[in-house]
A and B are shown apart, each in its own frame.
Chain A
Amino acid sequence: MRDVESPAPNPRITPGALAALHADGFGWALTLTRGRRDEAEDVLQTTYLLIYEGRARYDGRASLKTWLFGVIRNVARSRWRRRLLRLRFETSATDAMLEVPAAHESAPIDTVTGQQALAALARLPARQREMLELVFCRDLTIEEAARVQGIALGTARTHYERGKARLRRELGA
């Protein structure tokens, strides 16, 4: 990639490799921010900032994609926690913040099945939803998805199976 500086503290990462994962990373950030585009952009940019400054270091133990998705998840979680903490003092805004936003539905999906699938996904518990997305859509193995979520492999398998069963129920299939 031309004119894009490499992150000096992370010699194992090239901007080209990050660029190849950019679209997937953005999709993952979208899921973590419940479909809020601006927030997803902020999360991704903060992730790049951490990588550039070396505050998130890639040691090559996992695949770059697994590691990157883990960092994105941590950034999104910490932003969410900070936001909740701030809103705890603003009781009027807290209710609006805690309700599940319907941003998924705002995307113009052509097929009714697609919208139904997104709505059904949104009703799943967060762990199950994330597990299904990582495995089905982001092409990670269950083991890699477990690493991204920071949970044990057995727990990840449980979330995966329960997620599938619940999604089937939600879709009436």
Chain B
Amino acid sequence: MSDTQLKSLVRSALAARDGALGPPAFERSWRAAVAASDARRAPARHAWFVPAATVAGIAAIALAVAWQYLGPGSGPTPWTESADLQLARELSPARQWPVATDSLLHTYEYGLPSAIVIPEIENPFEESFL
């Protein structure tokens, strides 16, 4: 088989394949490409949502921090006697309780945290064990 015959055979076979499958219209392919390009360049429909939500989130955090430091009641917390200390004072009124102290001073004086003050209450059954 000569080169010319081979060429003719390949050419007709590929032409038959191309013809059978049929190329799409050029305009259709071109317009589809242009539309794809335009769609990619155009901003997404809800693209504003993410930056808006980000700004709103940052603003909310800033407001919360500002409120913490500058809002009403943001000064030094007044000292209040702890519930444990009050209970201990009620249960053993004879004891000399510090008139005004905070939990740190209390711990310093008694060597124990305020919550463990309760065992110092006079035990009404103590004598029965002796």
Across the interface, which residues of A come within 8 angstroms of B20, CB to CB? 107-109
A137 vs B18: C-alpha distance when bound (angstroms): 11
- The contact size tier of chain A is 35 or more
Q: Are B10 and A133 in contact (CB under 8 A)?
A: yes
Within 8 A of A (CB), among B2-45: 3, 6-7, 9-18, 20-21, 23-24, 26-27, 29-34, 36-37
Contact of A109 with B10 in the complex, beta carbons under 8 Å: no
Asked if A109 contacts B21 (CB within 8 A), the reply is no
A48 touches which one: B3, B17, B29 (CB < 8 A)? Answer: B29
**Separation of A113 and B12 alpha carbons in the complex (Å):** 10
Question: Are the CB atoms of A27 and B18 closer together than 8 Å?
Answer: yes
Q: Does B1 touch A at the CB level, under 8 Å?
A: yes
Docked-complex contact A136 and B6, CB < 8 angstroms: yes
Known: A110-B16, A118-B17, A137-B15. A48 touches B30 (CB 8 A): yes
Contacts of B13 in A (CB 8 A): 109, 113-115, 117-118, 121
CA A167 – CA B8 in complex, angstroms?
13
A31 CA / B24 CA spacing, docked (Å): 15
The answer to whether A27 and B6 have CB atoms under 8 Å apart is no
Q: In the complex, which range does the number of interface residues on chain B fall in?
A: 20 to 34
- Asked if A168 contacts B18 (CB within 8 A), the reply is no
Min CB gap B28→A, angstroms:
9
Q: In the assembly, what is the distance between CA of A173 and CA of B4, in Å?
A: 13
Question: Would you call A137 and B21 a contact (CB within 8 A)?
Answer: no
Contact B36 A49 (CB under 8 A): yes
Q: Is the interface of A mostly helix, strand, loop or mixed?
A: helix
Chain B residue nearest to A167 in the complex (CB): B6
Asked if B23 and A52 make an inter-chain contact with CB atoms under 8 angstroms apart, the answer reads no
Q: Which residues of B contact A46 (CB under 8 A)?
A: 33
Contact between chains at B26 and A137 (CB < 8 Å): no
* A18 contacts chain B at the CB level, 8 A cutoff: yes
CB–CB A26/B17 < 8 A: no
Check B11–A137 contact: CB distance below 8 A: yes
Decide if A19 is an interface residue (CB 8 Å cutoff): yes
In the assembled complex, which residues on chain A have CB atoms less than 8 Å from the CB atom of B23?
22-23, 26-27
- Given A46-B33, A137-B14, 6 more pairs with CB closer than 8 A: A31-B14, A35-B17, A52-B37, A111-B16, A114-B9, A114-B12
Q: Provide a sorted-by-A list of 11 A–B residue pairs whose CB atoms are within 8 angstroms.
A: A4-B27, A19-B26, A26-B23, A26-B24, A27-B14, A40-B21, A49-B36, A53-B37, A114-B13, A114-B17, A136-B7
The 7 closest A-B pairs by CB, nearest first: A26-B23, A48-B33, A173-B1, A117-B13, A22-B26, A107-B20, A27-B18
Chain B residues with CB under 8 Å of chain A are 1, 3, 6-7, 9-18, 20-21, 23-24, 26-27, 29-34, 36-37
